[in-house]
Amino acid sequence: MSLYLASKEIWRNRGRFLLFSLVVALITMLVLFIAGLASGLSAANREYLSDLDAQLIVYQENSDYLINASRLPMDKAPDLGRIPGVEEVGAIALTNAAIWPAGGGEAFDITLIGVEPGKPGEPALNSGRGLRGSRSREAIIDKRIAEELRLAAGDTLTIKSTQGTQEEFFTLTVAGVANRQYYQFLPSVIVPYRTWEQIRPQETEPQADAEFIPNVFAVKLQPGVDAAEAQAAVLRTVPEVLVADLQTAIESIPGYSVQQSTLNTQRFFTLLIGLLVLGGFFQIQTLQKIGQIGMLKAIGAANRTVAGASLWQIAIVTALGVGLGGLVTFLLTLGIPPEVPLQLTGATIASTTLLLLLIGPLAGMVSIRLAVRVDPLTAIGQ
Amino acid sequence: MSPMLNPVVETAELEKRYGDASRPIRALAGVDLIVDTGEFVAVVGPSGSGKTTLLSTLATLLTPSSGTIRVAGQDLGSLSESERTVFRRSKIGFTFQSNNLVPYLTARENVELMLRLNGTLNKQTRPLAGELLDRLGLGDRLNSYPNQLSGGEQQRVAIARALVHSPELVLADEPTASLDTERAHQVVSTFASLIHEQGRAGIMVTHDLRMVRYVDRVVRMEDGRVASILEDPAAIEALAQGAPMPVSIPAPIEALVA
């Protein structure tokens, strides 16, 4: 009965209800875009770190968990390796550089990462092979660089780096291609650590025997070892270090938490606006129908019927709007260029959609309450 | 008129009071009324005389403060709110002054609504709405929406809705309020003939005395009481033509009832 009344009313006023579904669709698109942006920006900031085959990051003491502010001597590695439960330790050094495109054009900014071949820090590969030798002039590039510059394993690329007052160019052979490995919004080129020391931008000309000083160590634990216990063990045994699990390390990337909370606030307010707009619409709608609802009750329609009709309407309008908005958003994302940091995963879409479907009935509570409270007596004597 | 054993409407000492107990406003101040099957009654009287309150009480939309009220053999005082809702949709038919029809349902759907509400819309009852509308001269407007119908047509759809589920009591609240004279006569005369034909009890509240010529009895209310009752067809016809309504009750109510 409720569904009958609800669908009849929607069909008779389909223009108005469709318009409202469009508003819901736009709100859905906005919420989805913000969610996609939050997830895309988050990924672009941390991808390299979250993909690490390691559980702990070891920093220099007093570095405040800032990778760029941390410098640790290589001789910490054996100390870390001896801690019970630690399987492998890998040194990691990060800096910014650029790829000089072979055919000219603009330099392509990258994060240049120095790692120990075969140790934690070297990403998993999609194609090609891993790094060999700490001084070899070869690199692992991430998928985005491979696609943008059309590079594959075996090709060469040129790194442009300012050393002293000179612009130096280093040619590297692509050994392998990994998944996207963004760090601080730049795609990554991963090189052996001694190569990194030679080619990184620096204030003076590099010396041939310069010591490599990594920023942090990635620590891979043996399976089943508790990360918190291992963390405590690191602090007990190795002097002058800080240690964090991956999640803390990610949240400590400068700007990461602030950016995410900004986007989450936006998402929250967009949902709130959606709630109020929907609630307002249905409330006005119900207020306009007070006489009609009174008449329905007077001829014997139960409160359940009247409230159910309102709920159905809201559910139908919301579902239609959310479905439409989701579909349009999906179609739009197909045409979005890869440099836009928009990442809409199934999980993001599902959770956002569910949330949006819930605000409809929530927004309808006021109007349902109004409808239930209409006195059928209003039908008489008017 | 000889009363039947089980009248459709039977009220005794019916009172409805508002306000605080020390200085109550008595909207109904002791109404005794009996309406039989097949009888069409007009309730007339000035504003504030209690006729709307009487109608609302008979419709189970108001509960009386004291006195008894039986409709279709049911003591209304003993019904819970949800029982009253069920009672309204099964035993009572309604027409209202305004907001009569559901705007997003066609004429036929508006009439069928009563069957749907009662859960009695089926193969046998499905043609009823169309037949009734056809009988009321709306055979070609079955699929029209209320805003495509004139005021008179809307009232006739409401009449069909008030009768389609075979209620025992049909209540009409100012059915001619928004109609011109010709339409008003047409609507009320059809209403009256259907009530007589189908053997319902009908009560019409109206301020339009021209309409009383179609009823069997005129009850005039004043200050919450039945001030006078007319049953003589000639007297009713005279009233319809503009003669004054006798102000005092010609005989005790009991005498009329008995």
More confident residue, A103 or B80: B80
Query: In this complex, which of A292, A300, A380 lies closest to B89 when CB atoms are compared?
Result: A300
Mean pLDDT value across residues A249-271: 90
Q: pLDDT digits over B73-123, tens only?
A: 999 989 999 999 999 999 999 999 887 899 999 999 999 999 999 999 999
Residues in A lying within 8 Å of B, measured between beta carbons: 1, 4-5, 8-9, 11-13, 291-292, 294-303, 305, 375-377, 379-382
Q: Count the neighbouring beta carbons within 10 Å of the beta carbon of residue A9.
A: 22
Q: Select the residue from B51, B97, B99, B154 to test the A interface by mutation, using most A Cβ atoms within 10 A.
A: B99
Q: With 50 as the cut, is the pLDDT of residue B177 above it?
A: yes
Q: How long is chain B? A: 258
What predicted TM-score, i.e. pTM, was given to this entire model?
A: 0.79
Q: What is the nearest CA distance from A48 to chain B, expressed in angstroms?
A: 59
Domain boundaries, chain A: 2-46+257-379, 62-239
Q: With 90 as the cut, is the pLDDT of residue A90 above it?
A: yes
Query: In this complex, which of B92, B99, B117 lies closest to A1 when CB atoms are compared?
Result: B117
Q: Which alpha helices (H) appear in chain B, and where do they start and end? A: 51-58, 81-91, 107-118, 126-135, 151-163, 181-198, 233-240, 253-257
Q: Which chain A residues have a beta carbon less than 8 Å from that of B105?
A: 8, 12
Give the angle A177-A183-A186 at the CA atoms, nearest 5°. 75
Q: Using pLDDT thresholds of 50, 70 and 90, give the confidence band for residue A299.
A: very high
Judged by average pLDDT, the poorest of A54-58, A286-290, A347-351, A374-378 is: A347-351
The CATH T-level fold of domain B9-98+162-257 is Rossmann fold (3.40.50)
Query: In this complex, which of B55, B104, B117 lies closest to A12 when CB atoms are compared?
Result: B104
Mean pLDDT value across residues B148-161: 93
Q: Using pLDDT thresholds of 50, 70 and 90, give the confidence band for residue B249.
A: low
Amino acid of residue A46: R
Q: Which chain B residues have a beta carbon less than 8 Å from that of A298?
A: 59, 61, 88, 94, 96
Query: In this complex, which of B55, B94, B109 lies closest to A299 when CB atoms are compared?
Result: B94
Q: With 70 as the cut, is the pLDDT of residue B248 above it?
A: no
Q: What is the nearest CA distance from B249 to chain A, expressed in angstroms?
A: 26
**CA-to-CA separations, A337 to A91, A143, A333, A340, in angstroms, rounded:** 34, 15, 9, 6
Q: Which chain A residues have a beta carbon less than 8 Å from that of B91?
A: none
**Both tokens assigned to B168:** 């025992």
More confident residue, B178 or B247: B178
The three-class DSSP label of residue A59 is strand
Chain A contact for B120, CB < 8 A?
no
Whole-angstrom Cα distance, residue A47 to residue B141? 68
What percent of chain A shows pLDDT beyond 90?
Answer: 65
Q: Looking at chain A, which residue has its C-alpha nearest residue B162?
A: A299
Q: With 90 as the cut, is the pLDDT of residue A345 above it?
A: no
Closest CA to B54 of B41, B64, B46: B64
- Cβ pair A376:B104 closer than 8 A: no
Closest CA to A201 of A162, A251, A254, A247: A162
Q: Yes or no: say if A200 and A189 are a contact pair by the CB < 8 Å rule.
A: no
Q: With 50 as the cut, is the pLDDT of residue B258 above it?
A: no
Whole-angstrom Cα distance, residue A366 to residue A282? 8
Q: Which chain B residues have a beta carbon less than 8 Å from that of A302?
A: 82, 85
Whole-angstrom Cα distance, residue B229 to residue B43? 9
Residues 168-197, chain B: which have Cβ within 8 Å of A? 173
Mean pLDDT value across residues B231-247: 85
Residues 2-61, chain B: which have Cβ within 8 Å of A? 52, 55-56, 59, 61
Mean pLDDT over the full length of chain B: 89
What percent of chain B shows pLDDT beyond 70?
Answer: 93
- Cβ pair A380:B92 closer than 8 A: no
pLDDT of residue B39: 94
Q: What is the nearest CA distance from A314 to chain B, expressed in angstroms?
A: 17
Q: pLDDT digits over B20-73, tens only?
A: 878 888 899 999 999 999 999 999 999 889 999 999 999 999 999 999 999 999
Mean pLDDT over the full length of chain A: 91
- Cβ pair A300:B52 closer than 8 A: no
Q: Using pLDDT thresholds of 50, 70 and 90, give the confidence band for residue A209.
A: confident
Q: pLDDT digits over A149-193, tens only?
A: 999 999 999 999 999 888 899 999 999 999 999 999 999 999 999
Q: Count the neighbouring beta carbons within 10 Å of the beta carbon of residue A255.
A: 12
**Both tokens assigned to B162:** 């008030």
pLDDT of residue B5: 59
pLDDT of residue B1: 44
Q: Using pLDDT thresholds of 50, 70 and 90, give the confidence band for residue A200.
A: very high
Q: What is the nearest CA distance from B58 to chain A, expressed in angstroms?
A: 12
Highest mean pLDDT among A250-254, A337-341, B251-255: A250-254
Paired sense of beta strands B40-44 and B201-205, if any: parallel
Q: With 60 as the cut, is the pLDDT of residue B228 above it?
A: yes
Residue A337 CB-density burial (10 A; 0-12 exposed, 13-18 middle, 19+ buried): exposed
Q: With 90 as the cut, is the pLDDT of residue B169 above it?
A: yes
Q: pLDDT digits over A300-314, tens only?
A: 999 999 999 999 999
Mean pLDDT value across residues B225-240: 91
Q: With 50 as the cut, is the pLDDT of residue B2 above it?
A: no
Q: What is the nearest CA distance from B63 to chain A, expressed in angstroms?
A: 11
Residue B231's φ and ψ, nearest 5 degrees, are -125, -25
0.85 surpassed by complex ipTM: yes
Q: With 50 as the cut, is the pLDDT of residue A206 above it?
A: yes
- Cβ pair B161:A299 closer than 8 A: yes
Domain boundaries, chain B: 9-98+162-257
Query: In this complex, which of A8, A376, A379 lies closest to B104 when CB atoms are compared?
Result: A8
- Cβ pair A298:B114 closer than 8 A: no
Q: With 80 as the cut, is the pLDDT of residue A14 above it?
A: yes
pLDDT of residue B3: 47
Give the E-state strand segments of chain A in sequence order. Answer: 56-60, 86-100, 108-115, 125-128, 138-142, 156-163, 166-178, 188-192, 216-221, 241-245
Q: With 60 as the cut, is the pLDDT of residue B255 above it?
A: no
Closest CA to A243 of A257, A256, A233: A233
Q: Which chain A residues have a beta carbon less than 8 Å from that of B104?
A: 8-9, 11-13
Closest CA to A114 of A137, A130, A91, A97: A91
Q: Which chain B residues have a beta carbon less than 8 Å from that of A8?
A: 104-105, 109
- Cβ pair A291:B98 closer than 8 A: yes
Q: Using pLDDT thresholds of 50, 70 and 90, give the confidence band for residue B247.
A: low
Q: Select the residue from B61, B101, B165 to test the A interface by mutation, using most A Cβ atoms within 10 A.
A: B61
DSSP 8-class letter at A123: P
- Cβ pair A298:B96 closer than 8 A: yes
